[in-house]
Amino acid sequence: MNVLAPKRTLGNIRQLAKQIRESVDVQEYERFPVCKVVDVLEKAAIKEGNTFLEVGFEDEMGSAAGQTDQITGVITLRNDIYINLTDDGEEGRVTFVHELGHQLLHTGAPLYRVAPHINLADIECAEAQADIFACEVLIDVEWLKKNIAKVRVSDIAKHFGLPAYLLEEHIERLVINGDIAEGIQLELCFEEQFQFSLIPLQGNPLQESLALESV
């Protein structure tokens, strides 16, 4: 769905994502504890007598993996996505954090549906804003800046638990935003085909868990 949202820069969304990361004290090289966050937020909502998360079924939700009520902020995850989330799977992780982005950024906000052929810029597109939020929560941008040229994108995505295509999209935004040098992006294009890593990882906390192949 193409939805026009109030403008949010990458910097605005990064600030919010940073607060979320700080609230669970996650280190920059650690996988963000999505299930723990779900648990904490759900318990907090129950304590207040509110609903935080619901599970829906395919016949109700169709192709939508998740949705967030724009008025109440209640997040609904499709059953299979919820199960994937409880297994700490990447689809479940990214869908939940994307919906959390909608909840925090768009609950009660004026949103306007626009024709599908109209190209919205990321700064005013509800879906792009939620994707940016998800990526910035799941990966520390400072870690990414330091390691983008050393570790394959597919391995970074695997370690931090989000789909590689989403990370690649976000890296393009980071290049535009000046967070990452443009040359890196070219390497990513080749990387898909040739699976090379520019610099072997040394002394990096991810080295063992990623088990990089040398080329």
| CA pair distance 88, 96, nearest whole angstrom | 11
Beta bridge partners of 56: 78
| CA pair distance 95, 78, nearest whole angstrom | 10
Residue closer to Zn ion by CB (options 127, 169) is: 127
Tokens of 161: 């638990």
Residue closer to Zn ion by CB (options 68, 147) is: 68
Q: How far is the CB of 138 from Zn ion (least distance, A)?
A: 15
Q: Which amino acid is at 3?
A: V
| CA pair distance 151, 206, nearest whole angstrom | 9
Q: Is 94 among the residues that bind Zn ion (CB under 5 A)?
A: no
Q: How far is the CB of 106 from Zn ion (least distance, A)?
A: 9
| CA pair distance 96, 68, nearest whole angstrom | 10
Residue closer to Zn ion by CB (options 77, 188) is: 77
| CA pair distance 127, 2, nearest whole angstrom | 8
Question: Which residues, numbered 101-140, are part of the site for Zn ion (CB under 5 A)?
Answer: 127, 130
CA atoms within 13 A of residue 180's CA, in its CB half-sphere: 24
Residue closer to Zn ion by CB (options 124, 127) is: 127
Burial classification of residue 116, based on how many CB atoms lie within 10 Å of its CB (0-12 exposed, 13-18 middle, 19 or more buried): exposed
The residue whose Cβ lies closest to Zn ion is 130
Residue closer to Zn ion by CB (options 99, 155) is: 99
SS3 category, 83: helix
Residue closer to Zn ion by CB (options 70, 154) is: 70
Q: How far is the CB of 80 from Zn ion (least distance, A)?
A: 17
Q: How far is the CB of 15 from Zn ion (least distance, A)?
A: 20
Q: How far is the CB of 3 from Zn ion (least distance, A)?
A: 8
| Number of residues located near Zn ion, criterion CB under 5 A | 2
Instruction: Name the residues that contact Zn ion, by CB under 5 A.
Output: 127, 130
